[in-house]
Homo-oligomer: A and B are copies of this chain.
Amino acid sequence: MYPYKELQNIINNEIEQLNFNIEPFELYKPIEYVLSGKGKRLRPVLALIACNLFSDEINEAINPAIGLEVFHNFTLLHDDIMDKADIRRNMPTVHKKWNDNTAILSGDAMMIKAYEFFFFLKPEILSKVLPVFNKTALQVCEGQQFDMEFETRINVTAEEYLQMITLKTAVLLAASLKIGAIIGGASEKDANLLYDFGINLGIAFQLQDDYLDVYGDVKTFGKQIGGDIVSNKKTYMLISAMEKANYEDKKQLFELINSTDIENSRKIKEVTEIYNQLNIPLILKNKLEYFHNLALINLKQIAVKDESKNILSQLSKELIIREQ
């Protein structure tokens, strides 16, 4: 099995070699800019790992893996316009560096470009893989829509929240694994087990993201700390706090959410204090562990030798304790 670092390097090298120095420059430069921001490359690496579980030959999966990364970065680009986010991976977002129109159009071009990387597949594989990718891409949009709607809704249940992050985050991790597995020649059963593993891992991953948004370090996290609190995102933290809070705490939380004139730093500080009092970090970590365990159960059932699966069980552990 290839180690994570090596797969990440393969992806980074391939992305570096993409030529975006073409006209119209204003359309392609932002795409290059977004892709040059070194993320974890989690989705393409998962695709390659999944392929590698079933085949020693991973070359076929490299282009589709790039397609998954390009698609993921497209969603970040458009989400950042909608969320009015200024910073991503310690860099100004595209709509800040350029403008909204550029961000919309370069995002569109990026999404279309993502499909191109799948066309290297043989026809029979292409027509298996593309519907998986396409359904997932649509679900990611659905997740973003729910996420936006939740911002202005008062009551969002934990269940609704988990459903939303499944769509917005988990399905793409799951699909990356499934696509890699299909290309590697996995049975339908194993490909679906990897998909389920990805769903559960993805939920745990997003819960850690929610945690880091409040308790992370701005330098390692790469995003503004407390961004979710400022924008009243109904994260698992806030939903759990609302559920657990007594009358006084709940009243204070509502006041903080509804106040329009409070300074951001004070809002972040006071909401965080309520989270601390209510032990929300522990509640979140327990939930995260629950989904992590489900993921490991899925992994166990896959019909390849345990040795090969170690990279995924190890990776899942690292992802849920990560600081960035």
A contacts, CB < 8 Å to B: 23-24, 26-27, 78, 81-82, 100-101, 104-105, 107-109, 111-113, 115-116, 119, 123-124, 126-127, 130-131, 134, 137-138, 141-142, 144-146, 148-149
Query: Can you offer 29 A-B residue contacts whose CB atoms are under 8 A?
Result: A24-B149, A26-B145, A26-B149, A27-B141, A78-B104, A78-B105, A78-B108, A81-B101, A82-B101, A82-B104, A82-B105, A100-B100, A104-B104, A105-B141, A105-B144, A107-B108, A108-B108, A109-B138, A112-B137, A112-B141, A113-B138, A116-B131, A116-B134, A116-B138, A119-B134, A123-B124, A123-B126, A126-B127, A130-B130
- In the complex, which residues of chain B have a beta carbon less than 8 angstroms from the beta carbon of A23? 142
| Closest chain B residue, CB of each to CB of A146 | B24
| Contacts beyond the supplied A78-B105, A116-B131: 8 A-B pairs with Cβ under 8 Å | A26-B149, A27-B145, A78-B104, A109-B141, A112-B141, A115-B130, A116-B134, A119-B131
The distance in angstroms between the C-alpha atoms of A23 and B142, with both chains bound, is 8
Q: Are B82 and A142 in contact (CB under 8 A)?
A: no
The distance in angstroms between the C-alpha atoms of A24 and B145, with both chains bound, is 7
- In the complex, which residues of chain B have a beta carbon less than 8 angstroms from the beta carbon of A145? 24, 26-27, 105
The distance in angstroms between the C-alpha atoms of A124 and B123, with both chains bound, is 6
Q: A78-B105, A142-B27 are in contact. Are A123 and B115 (CB under 8 A)?
A: no
- In the complex, which residues of chain B have a beta carbon less than 8 angstroms from the beta carbon of A131? 116, 119
The distance in angstroms between the C-alpha atoms of A113 and B138, with both chains bound, is 7
The distance in angstroms between the C-alpha atoms of A123 and B124, with both chains bound, is 6
The distance in angstroms between the C-alpha atoms of A146 and B22, with both chains bound, is 13
- In the complex, which residues of chain B have a beta carbon less than 8 angstroms from the beta carbon of A108? 78, 107-108, 111, 141
Determine how close the nearest CB of chain B comes to the CB of A137; give it in whole angstroms. Answer: 5
Q: Are B112 and A119 in contact (CB under 8 A)?
A: no
The distance in angstroms between the C-alpha atoms of A112 and B119, with both chains bound, is 16
The distance in angstroms between the C-alpha atoms of A250 and B252, with both chains bound, is 65
The distance in angstroms between the C-alpha atoms of A113 and B142, with both chains bound, is 12
| Closest chain B residue, CB of each to CB of A81 | B104
The distance in angstroms between the C-alpha atoms of A107 and B138, with both chains bound, is 11
- In the complex, which residues of chain B have a beta carbon less than 8 angstroms from the beta carbon of A137? 112
- In the complex, which residues of chain B have a beta carbon less than 8 angstroms from the beta carbon of A130? 115, 119, 126, 130
Determine how close the nearest CB of chain B comes to the CB of A269; give it in whole angstroms. Answer: 29
A123's contact among B109, B127, B146, B148, by CB below 8 Å, is which?
B127
| Closest chain B residue, CB of each to CB of A22 | B142
Determine how close the nearest CB of chain B comes to the CB of A191; give it in whole angstroms. Answer: 18
Most chain B beta carbons < 10 A, residue from A107, A108, A126: A108
Determine how close the nearest CB of chain B comes to the CB of A237; give it in whole angstroms. Answer: 23
Q: A112-B134, A123-B124 are in contact. Are A101 and B148 (CB under 8 A)?
A: yes
Determine how close the nearest CB of chain B comes to the CB of A98; give it in whole angstroms. Answer: 11
| Closest chain B residue, CB of each to CB of A124 | B123
Determine how close the nearest CB of chain B comes to the CB of A306; give it in whole angstroms. Answer: 35
The distance in angstroms between the C-alpha atoms of A275 and B108, with both chains bound, is 36
- In the complex, which residues of chain B have a beta carbon less than 8 angstroms from the beta carbon of A111? 108, 111-112
